Amino acid sequence: METRTHMMQGNQAVAEGALDAGCRFFAGYPITPSSEIAEHLARRLPEIGGRFMQMEDEIAAMGAVIGASLGGKKAMTATSGPGFSLKQENLGFAAITEVPVVIVNVMRGGPSTGLPTLPAQGDVMQARWGTHGDHPIIVLVPAGLREAYDMTVQAFNFSEKFRVPVILLLDEIIGHVHEKITLPDPEELAIVNRRKPTVEPEDYRPYEIDESMIPAMANFGEGYRYHVTGLVHDETGFPTSRTEQINAFLMRLNTKLEKYRDEIVAVERTDLDDARVALITYGSSARSARQALRSAREENLPVGMLRIQTMWPFPTEEIRALRDQVTHVIVPELNLGQVAHEVEHALGCDAEVVRVNRISGDPIPPDEILETIRKVV
């Protein structure tokens, strides 16, 4: 297999992953620390027949990618915290209309303008519940450049297959770090495209409920005319006030990912077989935790690590499996405990959850995590 080896930045790896996944439309607005994604795609998309649009703001950017997706293009936008906040209303529109889109959020410190050039992991809960109402979402969290590339491809595959917005949640460290990376031949990638209708246009129901729970999606301009609305709708796409139709639609919308949970949720386990202390971490904090784990093992400390790769749906079952094994769980993260709270809920037992947090814009050093391990063993 032909390979491509580069010294590359994390944001560039995301952009190349999008292109290899089939993304042919990007709309966005420059914002630190995600701007390199837009910069890279502004150059690369026209080279392969794609379209790049710099919009007047993040609200318009989100609307543009929804429109492009309805027209049949794989579409992506990228931003950081303040822009991610602006995208929430249209993100909810994408969720209720089941339009496949990919949103990259390269996290920085907040709230508000916060820390534009420094890392944070404070958007975990916003990624799940930023828009109002109950809605489906998939959120992937890479911890390195090759994983950023692979997860971007996966984000498009999940979005197309499940007709759901997918968020790629980086932080500034992953977005800006430079590493040697070998990318696969794009022809060897497993690429998923949305399921098209097999019925005649006059028989097409854009939100029909079948065994898959994922309706076939026709592209605008291909002879299928259908209604798209942010109002709760029936199988035809038109608004409804009938209780049974409302319930059927919203239950399908909010439970469809459960059917495919085992395909979506992913974690990485390291040295957990004999562990009495577990590190549960994600993103750039996992890089520090991995070094702390190595040092702890050299001291014969019984510690292992579970790294979250799919943040939402949350890996509750995978974490709960540790409840009868470990006495302490250490959760390092660049916020005040957003994932630690979910870990406590998932464990639901006497295992103590120890938080290692920073919100100063500095990464958590491995020595701080190692010292925490020593204290609880």
Query: Which structural domains are found in the chain, ordered by start?
Result: 4-188 (3.40.50.970), 201-261 (no CATH), 269-376 (3.40.50.920)
Q: What is the largest CA-CA distance in the chain?
A: 69
Instruction: Give the pLDDT score at 194.
Output: 97
Please tell me the number of Cα atoms within 13 Å of 374 on its side-chain side: 11
Rounded to an integer, what is the distance from CA 377 to the centroid of its chain? 33
Instruction: Give the pLDDT score at 62.
Output: 98
Instruction: Give the pLDDT score at 350.
Output: 78
Instruction: Give the pLDDT score at 349.
Output: 82
The beta strand positions in the chain, using DSSP E, are 4-9, 23-28, 51-54, 74-79, 102-107, 138-140, 166-171, 178-183, 267-270, 277-281, 303-308, 310-312, 328-333, 352-357
Cβ neighbour number for residue 83 with a 10 Å cutoff: 23
d(CA 143, CA 180): 14
SS3 141: coil
- Residues in the chain with pLDDT < 70? 1-3
Instruction: Give the pLDDT score at 1.
Output: 39
Give the Å distances, CA to CA, from 346 to 64, 110, 192, 204, 353. Answer: 38, 27, 32, 42, 11
Instruction: Give the pLDDT score at 3.
Output: 64
What is the pTM (predicted TM-score) of this model? 0.97
